[in-house]
A and B are shown apart, each in its own frame.
Chain A
Amino acid sequence: MARITLQALAHSYRAAPTKPADYAVQEATHIWDNGGAYALLGPSGCGKTTLLNIISGLVNPTRGRVLFDERDVTGLPTESRNIAQVFQFPVIYDTMTVRENLAFPLKNRRMPAALIDSRVAEIARLLDLTPHLNRKARRLTADSKQKISLGRGLVRPDVSAILFDEPLTVIDPHLKWELRSKLKEIHRKLDVTMIYVTHDQTEALTFADKVIVMSEGAVVQTGTPEDLFDRPAHTFVGHFIGSPGMNFLPCVIEGSRAIVSGHVVQLPQTYPVVRGSKVELGIRPDFVQLVPAGHGIPVRVERIDDLGRTRIARVSLPQGDQVAATIPLGATVDSNAAAIAIDPSRVNIYVDGFRLTPEEGKI
């Protein structure tokens, strides 16, 4: 196990990078604690896999250093880094039994047979593979094969970190639930640094203690799921986290008053003066309520999506901006609803995309 430090790290796939756009990973320093569960989350092309490959040694960074605790591993090949990896597709030996597959990484390192047996038994039990231990891997379903792959990643007790690259993408939704919660249980039991790359927000948020949100090669926010939900540092994070994402309404800020479509929202905190920039009020659909005309910001109800367990009202402001509002379970929709009310305690203000810190009071 190790603390992982990425020191002034940047990477470009170009031979002679000059401008920021040439970099797949923008220069930054990150420190990830020993034993933590981290997720790298972002759309494809955001640099998350490049960052993972730099940690594993598959990619040598253009600039900066990679440290495992105090040890500089920059430039070391993958096999010298003492890490385990799990990929999107199963990487297993078809002709071996499940037991042999799980034991392989340990045998390779000449661990004592007794330790191998107990370790294989433990991992098999955690992943519900015990009944299949003596079966050939090729006879198993795709889902079970990916479980073996996970098991091979988890089996070594001495690794610095375990890296997962979209490990559940090929898994059926019902089994995803099971495997995700298993991984979380296993993380608690094994106490090893885990880094998990995904574009799926549910996987990232449910797996990780800390989620690292990336966009265009840069980390835009590192935080707990609550941080990302309650106080997105950037409109990108507000949009990317949550389904539907955060609403952004053009507004004017005057101290503790936000003015949206000529309607005043009284906020619990005061903001510094901002001029000449794009100012937006950010509010999650969960904290927007449909109300009768005259009781809030006037809107037109475009449609209502029935998602089974909740419904989402899609409304538009007079200037055309789209807003989503969650209709709670069991609530009825007033057919006269022509306005929205915003919970002022859940409002964030953004200037040119970045969250504006209030002057006094706290959210």
Chain B
Amino acid sequence: MSLTLKNISKVVGGQVHVHDVNLAFENGSLNVLLGQTLAGKTSLMRLMAGLDVPTNGAIIVDGRDVTGVPVRHRNIAMVYQQFINYPTLTVFENIASPLRVAGLSKDEIEARVGEAARLLKLNQVLDRTPLQLSGGQQQRTAIARALVKRAELVLMDEPLANLDYKLREELREELPRVFSTSGAVFVYATTEPTEALLLGGNTATLCEGRATQYGRTADVYRNPKDLTTARVFSDPPLNIVGMEKRNGQLALATGKFDSVETLFSRLADGAYTLAFRAHQLRFNRPSGPSLQFSGTVAVSEITGSESFVHIEMPSARFVALASGVHRYEPGTDIETFVDPADIFIFDGSGRLSGLPSISPIVR
């Protein structure tokens, strides 16, 4: 099936939950909704499911307008953040429950449950009840039940948020393969950029009820079209610094240029925001031109393989992410550098400014 949202808005009690969203999801696609809490992810999913009716706009499934068609008349499966299973039923019966409701034959039920259980590595625990399972197994049971229905649309609302870190890692790896074997449209909401990247597929970035960008996940990450998208899709947080150009002269809110002024020559006069990600702020001076930022270390965090160094600048706070162990005492003065090719330049309205002199923009 294909799912199209046309100019969808949802206003509740004067508050805008979803604003003029246009998205088209293709048959067999995995689509991530990425945004912070209250960005509109759940609201959008409820509209897709038919649990809520949009204030404006239309929801089109395979060319047919289904706006206002309630969820029970549509072939939809949902998985929530909380593990929802029938506590008194075995894992087998939990997975089989939608098939029993649909009145499928015993053989067909056995075959489908067996297939879903194999895919989600539940075959060893089919005769247990949910309370005898780990959290990961409980959520896998809920996912298996969603898959076994062979729903056209599978909506997953932060399904891994309540799971342990390592289990999440495992399921994130498995899920894309699980998805790719089914022809359904999958929609997956998360607050975490890393999760979106691990899942792959397509990503729509959401902020304050708006879909700011939609495309291949890695594309949206590398080529955000505006500042909001870049912020939503950065973890650690995006480093940003104000820049002004007046009569051809450049002024940075903090930091200085090292022979890069000519690279900004095509920019018109005005106010800009320079932005770059944590791993692009470096401790070693690049061989070519660079932007330099001097600050003091607020705190350095070491994970064993990587270091996150938080740096106070005169009018900003940056995070640098470097591989290896970089231990700096708080208060240490530090020089950091950014390769101009790594910088996004956003104009006064937050849109990405084309920079022909730095091309191609590849990150």
Contact = CB atoms under 8 A, between A and B. Distances in A.
B197 A241 contact: no
A181 interface: yes
A306 B218 contact: yes
B164 interface: yes
Interface string B30-49: 00000011000000000000
B323 interface: yes
Contact of A206 (B198, B279, B308): B308
Nearest to B233: A308
Contacts of A201: 165, 303
A43 B222 contact: no
A226 interface: yes
B4 interface: no
Contacts, number: 94
Interface residues of B, number: 38
Given A206-B301, A206-B308, A226-B325, A244 B169 contact: yes
A174 B234 CA distance: 9
A305 interface: yes
Interface string A194-238: 000001111001110000000000000000011111100000000
Contacts of A229: 303-305
Question: Interface SS of chain B: helix, strand, loop or mixed?
Answer: mixed
Interface string B294-324: 0000110111110010100000000101010
Contacts of A199: 164-165
Contacts of B301: 180-181, 184, 205-207
Interface of B: 36-37, 134-135, 164-167, 169, 191-194, 197-198, 200, 218, 221-222, 235-237, 277, 279, 298-299, 301-305, 308, 310, 319, 321, 323, 325, 330
Interface of A: 43-45, 142, 172-174, 177, 180-181, 184-185, 188, 199-202, 205-207, 225-230, 239-245, 284, 286, 305-309, 329
30 contacts: A44-B135, A45-B134, A172-B36, A172-B191, A173-B192, A173-B235, A177-B237, A177-B308, A181-B299, A181-B308, A184-B301, A199-B164, A199-B165, A200-B165, A205-B302, A207-B301, A229-B304, A229-B305, A239-B166, A241-B304, A242-B304, A242-B305, A244-B169, A245-B166, A284-B305, A286-B323, A306-B197, A306-B200, A308-B222, A309-B321
